[in-house]
Amino acid sequence: MDSIKDQFRSPGEALAHLLRERDWTQQDLATILDRPQKSISQIVTGKKGVTPETAIELSNAFGNDPVFWVELEARYRLSLVQPKKLGVEKRARLYQLAPVKEMVRRGWISDASSLEILESELRHFFDQPSIEDDIEIGAALRTSFDSKEINASQRAWCFRAKQMARAINAERYNESKFDQNMQKLRRLASWPNHASKISSALASMGIRFVVIEPLARTKIDGAALWLDENSPVVAMSARFDRIDSFWHTLAHELSHIKHRDNAPPDVNLVGDSKPSVDDQSSIERRADQDACRFLLDPDELSSFIVRVGPLYSRARINQFANRMKIHPGIIVGQLQFRGELSYRSMRDTLVGIRDYVTSESLTDGWGHFLPDLTR
């Protein structure tokens, strides 16, 4: 009798088979068991389970072990639960991969009515034939980085940046002219409103520039990405609306572009939550040094500190800013970074420039809504 157990998916199938073998009807079995015929029919169709008591009665009627019926019933009920279990596992995988609710709120994916549609939406968003494997962000191997270094929200943010960057026209990137072009870009750091020219200046360098408001509860300042070997992208969040933060982050990411660094998105690049030098990787230390050097000649700043510090008056900082042709807030930011000023000092010089930047840059968030760029 046990040999036939594996042939059937449910107790009902086994019961129907045994009835045919004996040429019994459901009514015959109902009479034998002294049960209503309806209860036999419900077991056959799977609408009613086989209880231990019923298993004993069936084993007496067919001459087999009650365990046969109990095990078949248990296996059948587990098989009914399995698809739901798989659905839960897949949904958990998708929610681990991406911040689904936030992406729907921002209009990055549609509000899916089923698990299958959600999976399709995420495959489309991440431009992947399958989302079972780890998703790499960098297009070129030497610019990709370990996906385990970032969280789901940062990953989605970076992919949104790449989507947006594909919609931007830019000159062909020329590494040999990078330093020369950076000198031209530096001229825009003297006045807040000049930040509106950053996007076009970078496009002329062959670098696509996008601004994306961070997803909820996500810290990210910027990222250096590549669409292909010759198409670099700088993405920034502008979460700190301060001139010093913006320019330092921009210069930091441009250093990653220059060196084609294998670097994850950057977090806490400025302010008192910035990691100590000892906690930074060599790549991040170099990018920070490049950013500081790009904005202010370190020898000039050191000389200013020796001559003026610690009595940093607003007038002396403004004079130095005029001579260096840079906004005073950037000098204040570097003095704070060096520990010459507290992070509470001269906060009014750290003016906001986000509105200037986003007015002429492709922006998602901060009051700007973009349509789906992938369809």
What number of helices (H) and strands (E) belong to the chain?
A: 16, 4
Distance CA 155, CA 138 (A): 11
Look at residue 216 and tell me if it is in a domain.
Answer: yes
Residues 105 and 149 in one domain: no
Q: Is 209 domain-assigned?
A: yes
In a domain, 29, yes or no: yes
Q: Are 121 and 90 part of one and the same domain?
A: no
Q: What is the pLDDT along the chain (375 residues), one digit of tens a residue?
A: 445 557 888 999 999 999 999 999 999 999 999 999 999 999 999 889 999 999 999 999 999 999 999 999 998 888 887 666 667 888 888 998 999 999 999 999 999 888 889 999 999 999 888 777 667 765 322 233 444 567 899 999 999 999 999 999 999 999 999 999 999 999 999 999 999 999 999 999 999 999 999 998 888 999 999 999 999 999 999 999 999 999 999 999 999 999 998 776 766 555 545 555 554 678 889 999 999 999 999 999 999 999 998 999 999 999 999 999 999 999 999 999 899 999 999 999 999 999 999 999 999 999 998 877 766
One domain for residues 116 and 174: no
What is the spatial distance between Cα 183 and Cα 173, in angstroms, rounded to a whole number? 16
Is 254 inside a domain boundary? Answer: yes
* Structure token pair of residue 12: 């009902």
Regarding whether 257 and 323 lie in a shared domain, the answer is yes
121 and 155 assigned to the same domain? no
The CATH number covering residue 57 comes to 1.10.260.40
Do 210 and 324 lie in one domain? The reply is: yes
Q: Does any domain span residue 135?
A: no
Same domain, 298 and 358: yes
Task: Establish if 130 belongs to a structural domain.
Answer: no
370 within a domain of the structure (yes/no):
no
> Do both 102 and 152 map to the same domain?
no
Is the pTM higher than 0.85? no
Q: How far apart are CA 211 and CA 199, in angstroms?
A: 10
Say which residues have a Cβ less than 8 Å from residue 102's Cβ, sequence separation at least 6: 153, 156, 215, 216
Domain assignment present for 374: no
One domain, residues 228 and 325: yes
**Boundaries of domain holding 119:** 98-125
Tokens 């007496």 belong to 60
Q: In the chain, how many domains are there?
A: 3
State the Cα–Cα distance between residues 243 and 328, nearest whole angstrom: 9
